Structures are given as C-alpha cells and as structure tokens.
Chains A and B, each alone.
Chain A
Amino acid sequence: MPDYGVFSFDSKDEVLAKSKEFWNPGKTDFWIESGVPLVIDRREGYLIYDMSGKRLIDVHLNGGTYNVGHRNPEVVNAVMQAMQHFDIGNHHFPSLARTALAEALIATAPPGLTKVIYGSGGGEAIDIALKTARHATQRRKIVSIQKGYHGHTGLAVATGDDRFAKLFLSDSPEEFVHVPFNDHDAMHDALRAGDVAAVIMETIPATFGFPLPHPGYLETVKQLCEQYGTLYIADEVQTGLMRTGELWGISKHGIEPDMLVTGKGLSGGLYPISAVLVSERCAGWLTEDGFGHISTFGGAELGCIAAMKTLEICNRPETRSMVHYISDFMANAMRSIQARYPDWFIGVRQNGVVMGLEFDHPRGANFVTKHLYEGGVWAIFSTLDPRVLQFKPGILLHPELAEELIERVQVAIGKAWDEVRALPRTQRIAS
C-alpha cells in the first residue's frame, strides 16, 4: 500500500478515482484518454516515476520548473537549512531573504533593471508587471501576441489565448490587443496610436510550441516600444535561467527590457516564487505607495532562499558551458533523427535547450507524446499548436542520460510515425 506518511492510498486506481471525485475530473480523464496515465510518485534529478514504478526521463520539466532537476540536492539542502530559521515571513516588513535575493537578481539582470517585486507564481508576477506598466505610463492598453501565454490570473489571462480567457468571461479585447507573432506591421499598427502601456512578449512563446522570433523581430518590437512610449515586458519564465545558454534569453537579442518576469524554475522546483524585475522608470509606485501590491506568499522567505541557490547554480560558468554542450548534442541528435523521418519530423526550433519539434500532422505531437510516454520519456505537446512537441532537456543533463534520452526519442518518433501512417487518409490530414 503506497504510504506517504500523512496520507496513503490502496492503489493507483484509488488515486485516479478520488482525483476525479474530489479534484479535477476533466484533467484526470484527459490524461488517461491520451495514453499518459501518469501519477508522479518518486522523483529525482531528471527522472520521475509513475506510481506503477514506471521510470520516465522528464523533458517537460513543468515548463522549466525542474530546470535544475527534481529535488536538486543543493536546493533541498539550502531550503532545509533555511527552515531551521526562516518561514514564509511577513510581507509587510523589510526582510532578510527578500532583500538578499533582490540584490542577487539585480546583479545578474540585463542592464537597466533596478528593483524587484515578488509574486508567488508566474501569473501573479505578470499581473504585477502589467499593473506596473499601467501605473508608469498611465495607459491601459496591453499588447501581446496571438497564442501567447502568460498565465491564468486576472490580467495575465486576458493577454493569452481566448480558450482560457473566454471560459471565465475574462477576455477584454478593447484593453488587451492580440497581434500575430512575427508580424512587424501588425505590431506597428497596434502601437502607433501611442495609447499602449506595454507590449508583453515571451522571448520564445512556449505554449505555442516555441516558434522562434524572426531575426530582428523582437528588436523591432523594442524599438517601436521606445518610439511610442510603450514599455517592453520580457516574459522570461520559460527562457530564463540559462535555458538558452545565457542567463536570460532576452540578452541574446541585445534587448534591455523595461521589465523582466521570471517564475517556474526560479523556485528550484521546491518552493513557489516568482519575480518581476523593473527599471527605475517603472519603479515609481514602490515609492509612491509601497503597499500598492500586497501578496502574503509573494517572495516568501523560504522561496527566496530556494531562488538564490537556484540562481547561483544556473549562473555558474560550468552550467553555462554544459548548456552549450547539451544544446549542441541535441541539435546534432535531432538532425540525425530528422534525416531518418524527413516526411514526418519536419522541423526543429531550438535556442539552447528550449526546443520545439515539429511533426507533419495537425496533432502530430499528441502521437509522439503518447509513444514517448510508453518509451519512458515525458514530454508534452504544445497546447496551442499540437503539431509541435515541447522538448525541454534540463540544464544539468548528464551525457549518458542525454544519450539514453535520444535513443528513446528516436524509437518513439518512429512508432508515432507508424501509427500516423496507418491512420485512414481523412484522419491523417484532419485535425
């Protein structure tokens, strides 16, 4: 009987049944029907284990939350030691850990960012950034890209895809303008009236399958922002923390954003925390009314300590070099798999270990996800473009695990192709 101390279950079936009953029937059923009946039990490094004992290499990482691995021993130690002294802290007062992390974040941030505001999750951090932009510019409009994704809180959800906004009657197109990605003219049209507070951009849109910004696109957007008095918010939740081979993906574009949002991986996968780094121009409300945004758990001190250790690990020269090795390895490996399935595995979008694998079927990545799961790999299709598999190797991946991963991926891609080829012709094209 699986016994976890404060709770226990008789079986995995019991967990699934109660998950439907007490938690989320939609999600629970979805994964069972998708052929991914995963209930994560043991977890360590880049490995997770289903309750059945099935071992999986994690290349989803919960969007980069496990960037430095599950239960990274260094982060675990830091948090456990911190628990001898710290707790969440009191959000009203100046705090030891919040101050220390803020200083560490600013020291490693792109130039021009001078202050840190904390949240407890990515969505909250995005909301903080948008509120900050509105305060600083005294404008209401926010521009984001179609199929963008910035979280599910009040303002963040309105910047994203209609699927999540409309469900909760939270779309407000008059204030939240969506423009096509990689379209310079559309962006220019959206900004030219001079009434936009901020453009918010994921440096590479994750949930859209990591389509890469065309060379010069982000640079142009930043330039347009400057031209029209609009702020540029870099959403670095999935591209930060060395995943592109530099600490912040936006730095590779030479862009100095007005705000930068980080979350997920910042937690070390152990204690939730998110942060907005803002320029002096944006930071006015912190002086005008320092209580302007209140968050009991935002910048919880234990989270700050997890984040400080994680930031240190990510920013080591050894880590940066390893990401370059892993990135190089993955690029070569994918090229050789592509050469084997040129009509099926049609594209690789890659910037460091941020990767999207494109398949020639409207739901291609759904098939691949399933076969990967069967073959011992957990990687997720892109919710907003299921042709594309999100493929996110960890930044501390060991060479042997990398080789094992590719071995499994190669076989799974082949099996998914066999399945797709066997489909009736109509289903092969239809979505």
Chain B
Amino acid sequence: MTDMIEVPIEAAGVPRAKAMLERAEWAARAFARYDRESVAEIVQATARAAAAAAKDLAYKAVAETGFGVAEHKVLKNLACSTGLLDHYRGHDYVTPRIDSEAKIVSVPRPAGVVFALTPSTNPVATVYFKTLLCLMTRNAVVISPHPMAKAVCAEAARLMHDAAVAAGAPEGIIQVVEEPSVPLIQALMTDERTKVIVATGGNPVVRSAYRSGNPAIGVGPGNVPVLVDATADLRRAAEHVITSKAFDNSILCTNESVLIVEESVADPLLRAMRGEGGHLLDADQAERIRTTVFPNGSFDTKMVGQSATSIAQQAGIRVPQHTRVLLAPFDLVAPEEVLAHEKLCPVLGVVRVASARRGIDVARAVLRISGAGHSAAIHSTDPQTILDFGAAVNVLRVSVNVGNSLGGSGIETNLAPSMTIGTGYLGRSSVGENLQPKHLLNFTRLAYNSDDTVPFADFAGLSPWAAPAGPVPSYPHASNVSTPQADPAPARSATVSDDGEAQLREDLRRLIIEELTNIIKG
C-alpha cells in the first residue's frame, strides 16, 4: 500500500450516536410543547413500567456487573421509579408560574437534549432516575451507560422508552448507546447538540464533562465520615451504621467510609455493632485487609461490592457467617492510610477520638483525602455538636441519626431523592444539591414594568402548551390516503383505570415498606 492520506476516522459507534442526538433534538422540540397533563401521564406510565421491571433488572444488574446486592437494588429501583413519582407528585415543571406580586411570569423551558452518563454501581436506578427527571421536565435523554452494565441499562432504557411512547411521548425521547466507549463519550460530550451533560461516575468522566465546552452537571466522589459522639443513642447508631454500610455491599457513593467514635462510648458502640453483624478486626487482620483490598496501595476494583465474608475469606480471616461489615481500626487519618480512602466494599474504617471536637477535625481530615462536598453522617443528640459538625465538615449534606446510604440520597431523609449527589463548589461541581428536576430546565421570565401604574395582565388559565393530537411524529402516510384520523390523545382513555392504578400503587408501596423493614431488621 502506498503512503496513507490522513483521514480523520470516527471511533466505532460515534456516527450512530450522533444520529441519536439529532433524533433527540426533534423529539425534544416536540416534547417541549406538551402540556402538564400529558407530561404527568407519560411520567406515571414510565415510572410504573420501570417499577414493574425493578426486580428483574436488579438481578440482571448484579449478574452483569458481578457486584452489589440484588434485594437492595430492587429497593433503589423502586425508589427511583414509583418513589420518585410519589415524591414529585403535584410538582409542576410545565405550567407557567405567575407571580402577580412581582409582576413576573416564568415559563419553563426544558434544556432539550440531556446526555446522561450512568455508573456501574447504580446502573438501573440511575437510568431510571435521570430518565424520569428528564421526562418530568420535558427533555429528551441520550444515555451512555457504564460499559460494565451496558446490557441491563439498555434494557431499562428501552422499556422506559416504549412505555413513554405508548403514553404519548415523542418517539426517541429516551435513547441509549448500546456500545459505549471513551471516544464515543468524548464525541457526544463535546457535540453542540448536547445541551447539558449529567455525569455520574468516576472523576475522569466528571472532569471531562466540565472540560467539554458544554453545560455540565457532574458530581464528585464520596468518602463518608460518620461521627458517633457520647450523646448518641448507641444501639440505634450501631444498627444504622451497620445497615447503611452493608447496603448493596457498600457500592454507593453515600455508604459510610470511616467511623469516628468518641473514646468514652467506643467499646459499647462496637459491641452493639457486633450484634448487628459488624466484625471488629485486630491490628494484624486490619493489615491483611489493607493488602487484600488495597494491594500496592491502590484499591482493587475486584473488591467492589463483594460481601464482607468473601473479602474476609480472601484476606485469610475467619469471621462469623452472619458478618455484614468488617470494622478495621486505625489511628491516623492521612493520605498514606489506605483505610481512610473511599472503599466501595463493606470495610469500615474505625478511628477513636477523645472528644466530639476532635471528631470534627478527623472528619475534615477524611474529606481532605477525597469526597469533599459530598456527604457525612452524625449520630448525636447534642444540637451544638451537630451544628458545629455541619458548619465545619466540608460536605453539603449531613445525615443526622440515620444511615447515610439512604439518608444522603434522600430515600430515608426529606432531601430530594437522588442518585446524583451534587458536591458543589467544595467538590468541583456546578450543583450543590441532590440532582432534581429543577436542574434540567430554565425559565423565560416575562417581567413587567415594576411601576405601579403599569398593570399586570391576567394570565390565569392560559397555557402555551397543548396535548399531542396523536402519535408524535405521525406516520408519514401519503397525503392523499385517508387514514383513521388522529388516534385520540394517546393512552389517555386506554390506560389502567383509576382503581387499577390505585391498587398498583398500593401494592408497590407495600412492597417498598416490606423491603425497607427487612433491610432494617437485617
């Protein structure tokens, strides 16, 4: 072959993925004009379909990625489907908001095309979560799942798409990249058709989202300190910390990483934790855990989401069969101490401190290593300590007297339920709250002359939006062919009756409560 001419070659799958963005633009353009009722029906139908598949996809996610606890993933999948539906029931991101006092009308304007990256640790729940947020705000979404979880995420996205379209959503409103790759993600991140990137995943992905030149919402990693002070209800604290740390074998960014306990209550707390399935390691065993989980000083990704007993076995440590969390004591919180780093497995560092004040310093030290802006937990009954902790520790949410796994993500607290925890300026992110629908839209403000002599108009009952007249887009029949005209507004009359609806919701609620109870009981 003769000299090659330089031809730019796009990585496999990139052209197809760009075609998805292009199609998404058409879909977003149509969806941005839907009215509130149509949107509510689409969100509801999609959340229901997602909930119905929650269990199946939870097991498939564990099978595909090889980590996590399927029963716990069921819970997350439900929390991110019907759970979100319940939480945001009555919220309205569609109807113009009228403030006659300020003489301003705010018209919601969706971002358009959202490019969503989803992680391997929370694959299905994050697909559910980001997709439903997009639907609530009338955005189109193109999902690029983590390669380790691509099949289950594609299945999740497809079933949501089909449910959404059956309920009247535009075709292509949810799309998924089947074969994600680094060059493909780079290409979509920098594509001008991407209106906002929502990146959940490793630090490199988040940083490159911010470098892309496009608006981005990316969040930093966690490394969660939990302080138990002398005023805490020790029995409950033990139960919460162990249950939270054991949840989904600790692969959430919200799982506790280092337990900081006031010396005066350390022994009774650790005793109580043993009763919950915690196993306290001695110094020699802790060293074995260091070399097993952090061989050569860096985290072994094979340990992600493995069970406590399996890790103990690999480290050559005998532990009781019911062990859920390995408790590894150490003294100095500093970068060279691997046990002070984020551990995506049920190994919990334990540091004893002389006072709550010292505990706050140590919590700050944990977050200097990583996890700034993310989350922390405290178990205490002293409001001053709780307040001092919150004001000093560099996180944007503190779970108080509750496990952080489901506390920081808003499932067991009244924070916005979220699979994407904004780490704010502390954690090099543009968002400091839990990701929620409001982050995916802007408002056009119709601002009147503030002078009292200029009257504000009566906007009550007016809407710029409408329900779709039929499938969107309509099938391109030849214009001289008379077709059964505009199938009446989609799905509206054809969905499950209100009774069936109520029954289904009741069933799901019961299921969630049962799961929760089981988890808490351990």
- B66 at the binding interface (Cβ < 8 Å): no
- B15 at the binding interface (Cβ < 8 Å): yes
Residues of B77-111 at the interface with A, using a CB-CB cut-off of 8 Å, are none
| Nearest-neighbor residue (CB-CB) of B29 within chain A | A399
Query: With A83-B5, A84-B4, A331-B479 as given contacts, are A324 and B473 in contact (CB-CB < 8 Å)?
Result: yes
Stretch at the interface among A106-114, A344-352, A368-376, A420-428: A344-352
Residues of B1-53 at the interface with A, using a CB-CB cut-off of 8 Å, are 1-2, 4-5, 7-10, 15-16, 19-20, 22-23, 25-27, 29-30
| Residues of B with C-beta under 8 A to A74 | 10, 15
- A220 at the binding interface (Cβ < 8 Å): no
| Residues of B with C-beta under 8 A to A215 | 478, 480-481
Cβ proximity bits A212-242 to B, threshold 8 Å, 1 near / 0 not: 1111000000000000000000000000000
Contact indicator B172/A318 (Cβ below 8 Å): yes
Contact indicator A327/B19 (Cβ below 8 Å): no
Cβ proximity bits B150-182 to A, threshold 8 Å, 1 near / 0 not: 000000000000000000000110010000000
A399 to B22, CA, bound (A): 9
Cβ proximity bits A293-333 to B, threshold 8 Å, 1 near / 0 not: 00000000000000000000100101101111111110100
Q: How far is the CB of B63 from chain A (nearest CB, A)?
A: 27
| Residues of A with C-beta under 8 A to B476 | 244-245, 323-324, 327-328, 350-352
- Specify which of A77, A316, A349, A398 is in contact with B480 (CB 8 Å cutoff): A349
- Specify which of B1, B5, B25, B171 is in contact with A399 (CB 8 Å cutoff): B25
Query: With A316-B19, A318-B20, A324-B171 as given contacts, are A212 and B7 in contact (CB-CB < 8 Å)?
Result: no
Contact indicator A318/B475 (Cβ below 8 Å): no
- Specify which of B7, B22, B472 is in contact with A398 (CB 8 Å cutoff): B22
Cβ proximity bits A387-431 to B, threshold 8 Å, 1 near / 0 not: 000000000101100000000000000000000000000000000
Q: How far is the CB of A252 from chain B (nearest CB, A)?
A: 7
- Count B-side interface residues using an 8 Å CB cutoff: 32
Contact indicator A81/B9 (Cβ below 8 Å): yes
Contact indicator A214/B480 (Cβ below 8 Å): yes
Contact indicator A321/B23 (Cβ below 8 Å): yes
| Residues of B with C-beta under 8 A to A324 | 171, 473-476
A396 to B8, CA, bound (A): 21
| Residues of A with C-beta under 8 A to B20 | 318
| Nearest-neighbor residue (CB-CB) of A316 within chain B | B19
A52 to B147, CA, bound (A): 50
| Residues of B with C-beta under 8 A to A85 | 1
- Specify which of A245, A252, A325, A349 is in contact with B479 (CB 8 Å cutoff): A349
- A80 at the binding interface (Cβ < 8 Å): yes
Q: How far is the CB of A335 from chain B (nearest CB, A)?
A: 10
| Nearest-neighbor residue (CB-CB) of B17 within chain A | A318
Contact indicator B5/A80 (Cβ below 8 Å): yes
| Residues of B with C-beta under 8 A to A319 | 19
Query: With A324-B171, A328-B473, A399-B29 as given contacts, are A351 and B478 in contact (CB-CB < 8 Å)?
Result: yes
Contact indicator A252/B478 (Cβ below 8 Å): yes
Q: How far is the CB of A261 from chain B (nearest CB, A)?
A: 20
| Residues of B with C-beta under 8 A to A80 | 5, 7
Cβ proximity bits A92-121 to B, threshold 8 Å, 1 near / 0 not: 000000000000000000000000000000
| Nearest-neighbor residue (CB-CB) of A324 within chain B | B473
- Specify which of B16, B26, B478 is in contact with A322 (CB 8 Å cutoff): B26
A397 to B2, CA, bound (A): 38
Contact indicator B479/A348 (Cβ below 8 Å): yes
| Nearest-neighbor residue (CB-CB) of A326 within chain B | B26
Contact indicator A316/B171 (Cβ below 8 Å): no
| Residues of B with C-beta under 8 A to A322 | 19, 22-23, 26
A350 to B15, CA, bound (A): 29
- A74-B15, A398-B22 known; 7 new pairs, CB 8 Å cut-off, are A252-B478, A316-B16, A324-B473, A328-B472, A348-B479, A351-B477, A352-B476
A and B contact pairs by CB, cutoff 8 A, 9 listed:
A77-B7, A81-B9, A212-B478, A215-B478, A245-B475, A328-B474, A331-B479, A352-B476, A399-B26
Which residues of B are in contact with A by a Cβ distance under 8 Å? 1-2, 4-5, 7-10, 15-16, 19-20, 22-23, 25-27, 29-30, 171-172, 175, 472-481
